[in-house]
Amino acid sequence: MSTELQAVFDHLTSAVLVLDEHLMVQRINGAGELMFAISSSRAAGEPFASLVEFDHRLERLISQALNEQRSITLRQTELQLRNHQVLVVDISVSPLQLNQQQTVMLELHSVDRLLRIAREEEVLAKQATSRHLIRGIAHEVKNPLGGIRGAAQLLAAELDRPELNEYTDIVIAEADRLRNLVDRMLGSNTLLNLQPTNVHSVLERVRQLLTVESRGAISFSRDYDPSLPDVQADAEQLIQALLNIARNAMQALLEAQTEAPVITFRTRVVRQFTIGAVRHRLVAQVDVLDNGPGIPEELVENIFFPMISGRAEGTGLGLSIAQNIAAQHQGIIECANGPLTRFTLYLPIEVR
């Protein structure tokens, strides 16, 4: 390929790979390097299956394109990279004669980024609306609660029969319980103390706490990326967010009496990743996975809103607080059902 053609090839915004008839990578452009997180020199000569996991549909599509000598497109196909990131792409497969050799060109247009941006902007907007609504309700609830509590204290001081104090004590205790519930719904109002934070140290702290809480009934697996750099974060707030997520997983496993229950902590570095509408050069991906019963499908879309819980005893505040902490760090938490239930925290390496 001439220098001029190579320059055009590398400046295409869609990922392009050239494969030989055995599906070995011959060439990959700059957008492909970003998509698959691999350099062109390292990818050359590697089987395409070493870069991504794909189903038989793509293999059949490639065979069909070669046999019929025509271009074929497959829409909105999921590909799972070797770092476990899932991409949704449109794939165009075209037969190509290159240096008198039969090859095939794959052109991949990422559509998951647009879908994710729209979905995350919707989630963040709903979260902001929810927080605004909760602040308004909290103001309306806490004012009369203060009056009820004060009146109960005055009444207790006037009672001449000690046995009646039991009733005023109940009123005061319930007023305090409601006030604490409202405070928990509001979340922390303290400013973040951003410091270089080792995510693995945070996860180890969470693991230690839950090992004690579960009395050893839960096994913890760790799959850490040692190349993950420190993130700018408030360590205590980050511990709280991940503890809320992992504790939910622990409670689901114990209540379902899952055989051989396991919670897995997994970390990865993701490059050129979009959170909301902001594209970040480097993002920390923290997965909390469990082999429990999964999230009820009717709750998946609203699982991060306050008072939404799949457990009879749940308050529905833990995940809402975790999402709020993630948002304060310019990150986001996503969840998905599958072979394993997965909660993923995306956190910019550098907070802007």
Domain end point (choices 110, 125, 140): 110
**Residues 146 and 211 grouped into a single domain:** no
Between 254 and 11, residue with greater pLDDT: 254
**Residues 146 and 290 grouped into a single domain:** no
**Residues 330 and 216 grouped into a single domain:** yes
pLDDT at 37: 80
Residue ranges with strand state E in the chain: 15-20, 25-28, 52-53, 72-81, 86-98, 101-110, 195-197, 219-223, 231-233, 262-275, 278-290, 332-336, 341-348
% of the chain exceeding 70 in pLDDT: 84
**Residues 255 and 206 grouped into a single domain:** yes
pLDDT at 113: 64
**Residues 199 and 285 grouped into a single domain:** yes
When divided into structural domains, the chain yields a total of 3
Burial letters 265-289, b for 16+ CB under 10 A, else e: bbbbbbeebbbbeeebeebbbbbbb
pLDDT at 112: 66
**Residues 311 and 234 grouped into a single domain:** yes
Q: What is the pLDDT of residues 166-208, one digit of tens each?
A: 888 888 888 888 877 776 666 666 678 889 999 999 999 999 9
**Residues 92 and 22 grouped into a single domain:** yes
Domain end point (choices 46, 76, 110): 110
Which CATH number does the domain housing residue 76 bear?
Answer: 3.30.450.20
Separation between Cα atoms, residue 76 and residue 114, nearest integer Å: 12
pLDDT at 323: 86
Q: What is the pLDDT of residues 240-291, one digit of tens each?
A: 999 999 998 999 898 888 888 999 999 998 877 778 777 788 899 999 999 9
**Residues 204 and 315 grouped into a single domain:** yes
**Domain enclosing residue 137, as ranges:** 115-186
Average pLDDT, the chain: 82
**Residues 133 and 79 grouped into a single domain:** no
Separation between Cα atoms, residue 103 and residue 94, nearest integer Å: 9
Q: What is the pLDDT of residues 212-221, one digit of tens each?
A: 988 888 999 9
CA angle, 14 as apex, 12 and 18 as ends, to 5°?
85
**Residues 75 and 122 grouped into a single domain:** no
Q: What pTM was estimated for this model as a whole?
A: 0.62
Domain end point (choices 110, 138, 162): 110
Q: Which two tokens stand for residue 220?
A: 């913890």
* Range 129-155 average pLDDT: 77
**Residues 248 and 342 grouped into a single domain:** yes
